[in-house]
Amino acid sequence: MARDSARLNLVGDQGSGIQFSLYRVFSREEWARLRADTPMTLEAEELEQLSGLLEELSVEEVETIYLPLSRLLNLYVAAAQKLHAVSSTFLGRMDCKVPFIIGVAGSVAVGKSTTARVLRALLARWPDHPRVDLITTDGFLHPNKELEARGLMNRKGFPESFDTARLLKFLADVKSGKERIEAPVYSHFHYDIIPGQTTLIERPDILIVEGLNVLQPANLERGTDAGPFVSDFIDFSIFIDADEELIEDWYLERFMRLRSTAFRDPASFFHRYITLTHDNAVARALDLWRTINLKNLQENILPTRPRARLILRKAKDHSVSTVALRKL
């Protein structure tokens, strides 16, 4: 049976000394049983394409973790559609469909993109919501030129490095049912926004939004009014979690793999690193991790973990070891 758990700081305090568990935590075996009769709809060739640079998706991982999750999300989407229909009936109007938005948050190198891709593929196989789109909030980073002007290049990925107003406008347009919405595109190869290039979003049934800080609430100063933030538009939130030491290892491994592949292209922003010795490259990668990405994780990303509806906790081999589902 699933169990209530205080692990991972998933315990709330009402201020009176009384603590309560926010989540039910499932082992792999417990979670797998919740798949019920959900069919496996991905072929081995598709899993290879959906896998990340370090994370190779297996049939067993998809069947154990992602099929039960796709079933749960399908139930949430169906419930949201019914609620919207009830509200429309009450208001006496025929509103257009409202896309269901799923947020996927977590650290750099923890595997957010892989999770987002496999969920997109699985959810698109369900008959009630065949159109599933995916965007990353990286596209809403300020261009490097703007970050340099603001002195924020060393804080790329921190909340202040994003064009939050543009991201909020995009999400508001999605939720309002606007037919055609353009999202900017970010290139990890160029480490910058691609000028003039956009992704077109056309009223999907489901939109998956993947990013570092999608669960972060607005920072309010005393005496100011609360405004909308990204998390206000998300219907179901997922946090990809792992020990900091593991994420550091994955970040370093990914950096070194890219150094021997993509970084070799002279057009790559990181081409400069191929001239470093192996030891100096490792030292540089660790410096980038510890001074930028780890700092952002500790200050801005981890504090949002308790706001997630579901937490996927990863082990050293990238497999999900436990699933925590919020019950409050």
Percent of the chain with pLDDT over 90: 69
Reduce the secondary structure of the chain to three states and give it as a string: CCEECCHHHCEEECCCCCEEECEEEEEHHHHHHHHCCCCCCCCHHHHHHHCCCCCCCCHHHHHHHHHHHHHHHHHHHHHHHHHHHHHHHHHCCCCCCCCEEEEEEECCCCCHHHHHHHHHHHHCCCCCCCCEEEEEHHHHECCHHHHHHHCCHHHCCCHHHECHHHHHHHHHHHHCCCCCEEEEEEECCCCEEEEEEEEEECCCCEEEEECCCCCCCCCCCCCCCCCCCHHHHCCEEEEEECCHHHHHHHHHHHHHHHHCCHHHCCCCCCHHHHHCCHHHHHHHHHHHHHHHHHHHHHHHHHHHHHHCCEEEEECCCCCEEEEEEECC
How far is 292 from 276, CA to CA, in rounded Å? 20
Q: Give me the pLDDT at residue 164, please.
A: 92
Question: Could you tell me which residue, 326 or 56, shows the higher pLDDT?
Answer: 326
Assess whether pLDDT exceeds 70 at residue 18: no
Q: Give me the pLDDT at residue 7, please.
A: 46
Assess whether pLDDT exceeds 60 at residue 46: yes
* Dihedral pair phi/psi, residue 175, rounded to 5°: -70, -25
CATH number at 264 reads 3.40.50.300
**298-326 exposure pattern, b = at least 16 Cβ within 10 A, e = fewer:** eebbbebbbbbbbbbbbeeebebebbbbe
Residue 143 contacts by C-beta under 8 Å, 6 or more apart in sequence?
192, 193, 195
Q: Give me the pLDDT at residue 90, please.
A: 86
Q: Give me the pLDDT at residue 127, please.
A: 85
Q: What does pLDDT average to over the chain?
A: 89
Question: Could you tell me which residue, 97 or 173, shows the higher pLDDT?
Answer: 173
**Average pLDDT, integer, range 143-147:** 97
The tally of domains found in the chain comes to 1
Assess whether pLDDT exceeds 80 at residue 16: no
Residue 188 contacts by C-beta under 8 Å, 6 or more apart in sequence?
138
**Average pLDDT, integer, range 283-292:** 95
Window from 44-48, 152-156, 185-189, 223-227 with minimum mean pLDDT: 223-227
Assess whether pLDDT exceeds 90 at residue 29: yes
**Average pLDDT, integer, range 187-204:** 94
Residue positions counted in the chain: 328
Window from 155-164, 177-186, 190-199, 218-227 with minimum mean pLDDT: 218-227
Q: Give me the pLDDT at residue 5, please.
A: 46
Q: Residue 19 — very low, low, confident or very high, per pLDDT cuts 50/70/90?
A: low
Q: Give me the pLDDT at residue 209, please.
A: 97
Q: Give me the pLDDT at residue 290, please.
A: 96
Q: Give me the pLDDT at residue 203, please.
A: 92
Q: Give me the pLDDT at residue 109, please.
A: 95
Q: Give me the pLDDT at residue 221, please.
A: 46
Q: Which domain holds residue 245?
A: 3-218+225-326
Q: Give me the pLDDT at residue 128, please.
A: 78
How far is 7 from 23, CA to CA, in rounded Å? 10
**Average pLDDT, integer, range 1-20:** 53
**Average pLDDT, integer, range 253-272:** 90
The angle formed by the CA atoms of residues 322, 326 and 328, to the nearest 5 degrees, is: 160
Q: Give me the pLDDT at residue 95, please.
A: 67
Give helix 112-123 / helix 67-91 axis angle, nearest 10°. 70
How far is 247 from 321, CA to CA, in rounded Å? 15
Window from 70-79, 100-109, 268-277 with minimum mean pLDDT: 268-277
Q: 306: which 2 tokens?
A: 């308790």
